[in-house]
Amino acid sequence: MEGYRNQKRDNPRDSKHSNSLKEQETQESSSKRAKNENFEKLHSTRTELLHKHFGYTDENNPFGDEELTQPFIWGKNEKFKSPDNKKGPELSVNEVQSKVDELKELKQRRKHYELEKSKLIESRLTSDKKNDESYEEWEAKEMEFNLKQIVAKPLMRYKQGRPKLVDKLILTVDPDFTESFKEEFEINNLFKRQSSEDVKEAVEIINAYLQLEKLPESTEYLENLLVLAKEPAQSNFELTGVSQMVGEKIDQIMSSKSLSELEVFETQIKKKLELGVVDTNFWETALSRIPYFKACRYVSNVLRGSDRSDAPATASDSNDRKEWEDESSKTKVKSEGKKEMKDRRSDGKKKGSYEKFVQYTKLEEDEEIFDDLVDLRGEHGDLETPKYFNRVKRGYEWTKYNMAHYDPDHPPPKLVQGYRFNIFYPELKGKVPQWKLQKDGEKTETALIRFIGGAPYRDIAFRVVNKEWVTDPQKGFKNFFDNGVLHLYFDFKKIKYRR
């Protein structure tokens, strides 16, 4: 009975405890429901504001955040807050709006900062560009000032009575300089006996004149003078594949040639190299020396105040040509010890007519210098050998045989198609020189053309191909004597093969 009473006595308390639990559960459920409603409201507000002001969504935002619109609630922080400090949904929404406004302001400030930064960079670039332009202008003026100081040296040293070689060479062609120098210049070795310091200064002065265009009418002269100044004092020919002796011999032959003859040799050598000669080192060395000696001739012409070429009168032109064209000179160079002509004329007018003719007569593509001079026994005596400038015309003949066996890439051998003879008799007065054909001994494939001028000239003859001539003036035939020059031009008839 006592146990029963006790059980009955405990029931009211259990009932009270149960009611308390139900009330607690109801409160928790209500609080949870309120939190969910608050969360949804915050989420909706956050989604709307982010999209409205920034264009961000969970799927499209620069952060790659798929829960960007989800509001963050610090659960534990909310748990320990007193009921008075707990924020309502309206306050949370206001905070979101405040944060958005703050972000908008921050974004605006960043945009303004980027704009100011770009303006600053642009301003610095403009300033740097102006500084660069100012520096370049200053540098150009500085260079011009230095060049003017350099070009003032020749006249200054002359006035002080201590002119150098380069000063004389430049002042000679200066139109404002009225004095003259009596000394003769050794053109072929112009700067080779100068000290290295003097040569270096000469190059500097000539370059300064060219850069400032101080002597515009003498630009070509200064350019050729610069070539001479840059020439080494001692040429090492072994670097080009020929012996020193052969290289010096090449220079010796070149030094006796006129400007026009050097141009002719240059054309001939280039043709030889194109055709594939055996000793390329020899011909390439010869070709490389031509620019230097052309510069020598040009400078010499200017210094002598003449428009004619100046070939030294120490050796016969014909002897030089024969030695140059002789293939054996490539391996066994002959000496130039031939005796000088007794009555070789040095008169400028006579020489000028020949040189000028050679200078203005250009080789055609199918022409070569012709120098097959025949030694006529008993014709030497004390007479003078007339000068000559002859050419031979060579070309392809496309006969049926050649067309069957050759093509343009592999053409047939070139054949002689004609000759151009120009024989000079400047001192021949009151008579006209003649020419005649003669047999070449027992040879039938060649013949001799003998040119007869009479005193003071000896007869000369050339060996030519023995073929029938075309004597029609409209087809290139020429035979006349004018201004002391005998011209004989002819081509050979082309053989027409018939069935």
Q: List, for residues 288-302, the tens digit of each pLDDT value.
A: 999 999 999 999 888
298 is in which domain, residue-wise?
A: 236-330+344-362
Given this model, what pLDDT does residue 460 score?
92
Given this model, what pLDDT does residue 312 score?
43
For 266, the token pair is: 């240059």
Cα separation of 364 and 2, whole Å?
A: 152
**368 and 460 share one domain:** yes
Given this model, what pLDDT does residue 435 score?
92
**310 and 246 share one domain:** yes
Contact (CB, 8 A) for 481 and 429: no
C-alpha angle with apex 377: 372 to 379, nearest 5 degrees? 95
Question: Considering only 134-148, 430-444, 478-492, which range has the smallest mean pLDDT?
Answer: 134-148
Q: Which of 57, 86, 115 is a domain's end point?
A: 86
Cα separation of 119 and 293, whole Å?
A: 63
Question: Which among 185, 179, 175, 164 has a CA at the least distance from the CA of 297?
Answer: 185
Secondary element (H or E) of residue 206: helix 196-212
High-pLDDT (> 90) share of the chain, %: 14
Residue 238 burial by Cβ neighbours in a 10 Å radius (0-12, 13-18, 19+): exposed
- Which tops the pLDDT comparison, 8 or 72? 72
**45 and 169 share one domain:** no
Q: How many CB atoms lie within 10 A of CB 196?
A: 8
Contact (CB, 8 A) for 476 and 452: no
Given this model, what pLDDT does residue 329 score?
46
Residue 421's pLDDT band, with cuts at 50, 70 and 90, is very high
Task: Identify whether 210 is part of a domain.
Answer: yes
Given this model, what pLDDT does residue 201 score?
92
Cα separation of 264 and 65, whole Å?
A: 86
Task: Identify whether 280 is part of a domain.
Answer: yes
Q: How many CB atoms lie within 10 A of CB 445?
A: 8
Task: Identify whether 127 is part of a domain.
Answer: no
Residue 3's pLDDT band, with cuts at 50, 70 and 90, is low
**376 and 353 share one domain:** no
**350 and 374 share one domain:** no
Question: Considering only 69-73, 82-86, 429-433, which range has the smallest mean pLDDT?
Answer: 82-86
Question: Which among 286, 153, 270, 131 has a CA at the least distance from the CA of 208?
Answer: 153
Question: Considering only 331-345, 415-429, 471-485, which range has the smallest mean pLDDT?
Answer: 331-345
Given this model, what pLDDT does residue 384 score?
86
Model confidence at 1: pLDDT above 70: no
**369 and 293 share one domain:** no
- Strands 434-440 and 460-465, sheet pairing: unpaired
Q: Which of 234, 256, 286 is a domain's end point?
A: 234
Model confidence at 379: pLDDT above 70: no
Written as one string, the DSSP assignment of 222-251 is HHHHHHHHTS-SS--GGGGTS-HHHHHHHH
Partners of 491 in the beta sheet?
418, 470
Given this model, what pLDDT does residue 205 score?
92
Sequence-distant (6+) residues with CB within 8 A of 68 are 50, 56, 57, 58, 61
- Number of domains observed in the structure of the chain: 4
Given this model, what pLDDT does residue 315 score?
36
Highest mean pLDDT among 140-144, 178-182, 413-417: 413-417
Task: Identify whether 128 is part of a domain.
Answer: no
Model confidence at 116: pLDDT above 90: no
Question: 349: helix, coil or strand?
Answer: helix
Secondary element (H or E) of residue 448: strand 443-452
**265 and 351 share one domain:** yes
Contact (CB, 8 A) for 448 and 463: yes
High-pLDDT (> 70) share of the chain, %: 74
Residue 308's pLDDT band, with cuts at 50, 70 and 90, is very low
Task: Identify whether 422 is part of a domain.
Answer: yes
Model confidence at 361: pLDDT above 70: no
| Model confidence, pTM | 0.41
Given this model, what pLDDT does residue 131 score?
72
Cα separation of 13 and 17, whole Å?
A: 6
Task: Identify whether 497 is part of a domain.
Answer: yes
Residue range 430-437: mean pLDDT, rounded? 88
C-alpha distances in Å from residue 153, one per residue of 148, 325, 489: 9, 46, 55
Given this model, what pLDDT does residue 407 score?
86
**348 and 368 share one domain:** no
**369 and 485 share one domain:** yes
Written as one string, the DSSP assignment of 138-171 is HHHHHHHHHHHHHHTHHHHHHHTT---HHHHHHH
As a whole number of Å, the end-to-end CA separation of the chain is: 163
- Which tops the pLDDT comparison, 20 or 247? 247
Given this model, what pLDDT does residue 343 score?
40
**351 and 387 share one domain:** no
Task: Identify whether 140 is part of a domain.
Answer: no
Question: Considering only 22-36, 110-124, 211-225, 343-357, which range has the smallest mean pLDDT?
Answer: 343-357
The overall average pLDDT reported for the chain is: 77
Task: Identify whether 36 is part of a domain.
Answer: yes
For 447, the token pair is: 């013949």
Contact (CB, 8 A) for 152 and 189: no
- Which tops the pLDDT comparison, 39 or 247? 247
Model confidence at 110: pLDDT above 70: yes
DSSP 87: P
Residue range 98-124: mean pLDDT, rounded? 81
Given this model, what pLDDT does residue 224 score?
92
For 365, the token pair is: 């593509």
Given this model, what pLDDT does residue 464 score?
93
**388 and 424 share one domain:** yes
Given this model, what pLDDT does residue 488 score?
93
Residue-wise pLDDT for 140-172, tens only, equals 888 888 888 888 899 888 888 889 999 999 998
Question: Considering only 46-50, 272-276, 348-352, which range has the smallest mean pLDDT?
Answer: 348-352
Given this model, what pLDDT does residue 328 score?
39
**163 and 63 share one domain:** no
Highest mean pLDDT among 29-43, 58-72, 83-97, 403-417: 403-417
Residue-wise pLDDT for 447-477, tens only, equals 999 999 888 888 999 999 999 998 888 888 9
C-alpha angle with apex 83: 81 to 88, nearest 5 degrees? 95
